[in-house]
Structure 1
C-alpha cells in the first residue's frame, strides 16, 4: 500500500496509509495508531487481512516524531490526537473508530475526549490511562524510573551532534518488550533498521529525545475518563511486559460514561498484540466494530 502525505493547517505534514486504496464509504473507518518509536508499518498484518479490509476502511498514521510525519519540535499526546482528528477532517471522514497500541492507546483516549462527536469507539491495546507511578508498578507494570535515566543520558547533547545514531539498546529493548519471544528475525531486522534510519543526525536525536520525554512526562487521564462517552474495547495480552492485565482490569472500570466497556484478554499475547496475535486481535476488533455499528444504526 502506498504511503501518502497531507499538509494540515497546523503546519504538520502527516504520513498515512489507507486500505482499501479507495475506501468504501459504506464501511466504517478504523484509525490505527502505533507504539513508541515504531510507525504505521506496525499494522502490516491488518493491511494484509482482506477479511478486515473488506468490512472496515483502515487508516494508519505516522504520529508526530515518528515515521515520515513532519511536525513541530515539541509536542504532547494531545498534539498528536488533534493532528489525527485534523487529518480525518481533511480526508472528509466524518466519524471514526480509533485503535492504538501502547502510546497509540494514550492518543485514542485523548481523541475521544477532544472530539466525542467524531469518535465512535476506542480500542486501546497494551496501554494505560495513568502516568508512570509506583501504583502502576505495584500492579506489575514496567519500572519506568529505572528505564528512563539511561535513555535520557544517551540522547542528551550539550550542542549539535551531527553524527548521532540511535543506540542499539533502544531498538533491542523495544523489540524485546513489544514482540517478546514470538519475534521473527525479519521483524527484528526491520525495526532495528527503521529506528536507525528515522533517528539519525542531530534532528533525529532531538526528535528521539522528544519522543522519550513525551512518553515519560505524560499526564494521567484517570480523572478525565468519564468524559469519554463512546464504547471502549480493551484487548490485552497475558504476556504484556509493559502494562499488566491487572492494570487493564483496573482502568476498565473508570470509563463510567461509556455505554459499554469490554476487556478481552488474549492468552500468550504480547505488548504489540496486533503483531504477536493478529488473527485473534483482528477477529475481536472486527466483531466489536460490526456490533457497535449495528447498534448505532439501529438507533439512528
Structure 2
C-alpha cells in the first residue's frame, strides 16, 4: 500500500489513472475506500487519488490533538511528496471541511473543489452533545450493533453497503477515534472566510442526508463566488458518491469538462 510522510504523519493513500490529479478526502468513520467508485470511473481521464485522514484507515499519526487545518497541511504534504503543484480537491463531509481549509491555506494549489455533503458551519450544540455521547460509548464498547447499525444507516443509507462498513469498523476495534472526534466537534466557524475561495466549486448533496442540512450547503452556493447550485442526488443519504456513484460521477465529469480540467 502506498504511503508518504507528511511531517510527522505516515499518510496512506490510493492512486489510480493518469491525467490531471483529483484528490479526495473521506468522511468521519470512513476511509479512502469510500472513493473506490470514483477511482474506477474517473481514472480513464484523470489521475484519481484518495487519502486516509488521521485516526482513520491506514494512516499513522502521533497521539496528539490536531485540527482540520493540520489535516489540510497533511493533504498538501501529499501533493508535495507526489510533486503535484496543484489538483482538484474533493471531500465528503469532514473531507470537505479539510478541502475548504486547503483552498484557504494554499489557493494556488487548488484548481477546483468538489464538495459532497459538507459545510463551513461549526458543529451545532445539539449535534455536539449527541455525537459526544456516541463517541464516548464507542470508546467504551466499540462498534456494537446498538451503535453501529444506526450510525451506518445515517452515514450510508443502503443496507448491503452498511454491513460492509460495519464489518470494517469491527475489524479496527481498539483504535481510538477520540482525537478525531475532538477535531470534528470543536471545529471553528469559517463562514466569514469562504467568500475568499474563488476557484470553481461543485456542490453535491444526498436528498436524504440527515447529517448536513440542505440550507448549510445552500449557504456554500450563495457565499462562494464560483460555486454551482447544489446538485441533489435523489434517494441518497450522507455518502452519495458511495451509494449512488453513477449520478455523482456524471456530475463530476460534467463539471470537469465544463472547466476544461
Fold shared, TM-score > 0.5 on shorter chain: yes
Question: Shorter chain as normaliser: what TM range?
Answer: over 0.9
Which of 219, 241, 246 is 1:250 aligned to? 219
1:179 matched to which residue of 2? 156
Cα distance in 2, alignment partners of residues 215 and 167 from structure 1: 22
Cα distance in 2, alignment partners of residues 12 and 131 from structure 1: 25
Which of 202, 210, 234 is 1:267 aligned to? 234
Aligned pairs (5 A) from 1:22-101: 24=18, 27-49=19-41, 52-73=42-63, 74-101=65-92
Deviation track 1:115-142 (CA, whole Å, cap 9, x = no partner) reads 10100111110111101236xxxxxxxx
Q: If you compute each CA radius of gyration, which structure gives the higher value, 1 or 2?
A: 1
- TM-score normalized by structure 1? 0.81
What is the aligned-residue RMSD (CA, Å)?
Answer: 1.9
Unaligned runs of 5+ in 1: 135-142, 158-163, 295-300
Deviation track 1:83-131 (CA, whole Å, cap 9, x = no partner) reads 0011111101111001111111101101100110100111110111101
Which of 102, 106, 109 is 1:118 aligned to? 109
Q: Does 1:196 align with 2:186?
A: no
- Report how far residue 234 of structure 1 moved: 0.4
- Does structure 2 conserve the Cα–Cα contact (< 8 Å) formed by 1:199 and 1:208? no
- Does structure 1 conserve the Cα–Cα contact (< 8 Å) formed by 2:121 and 2:216? no
1:7 matched to which residue of 2? 5
- Report how far residue 75 of structure 1 moved: 1.2
Cα distance in 2, alignment partners of residues 238 and 166 from structure 1: 27
1:228 matched to which residue of 2? 197
- Does structure 1 conserve the Cα–Cα contact (< 8 Å) formed by 2:220 and 2:227? no
Cα distance in 2, alignment partners of residues 152 and 16 from structure 1: 26
User: Taking structure 1 as reference, are residues 245 and 218 closer, same or farther at Cα in structure 2, changes over 3 Å only?
Assistant: same
SS in 2 for 1:293: coil
- Report how far residue 229 of structure 1 moved: 2.0
User: Taking structure 1 as reference, are residues 275 and 155 closer, same or farther at Cα in structure 2, changes over 3 Å only?
Assistant: closer
Unaligned runs of 5+ in 2: none
- Does structure 1 conserve the Cα–Cα contact (< 8 Å) formed by 2:139 and 2:177? no
2:249 matched to which residue of 1? 282
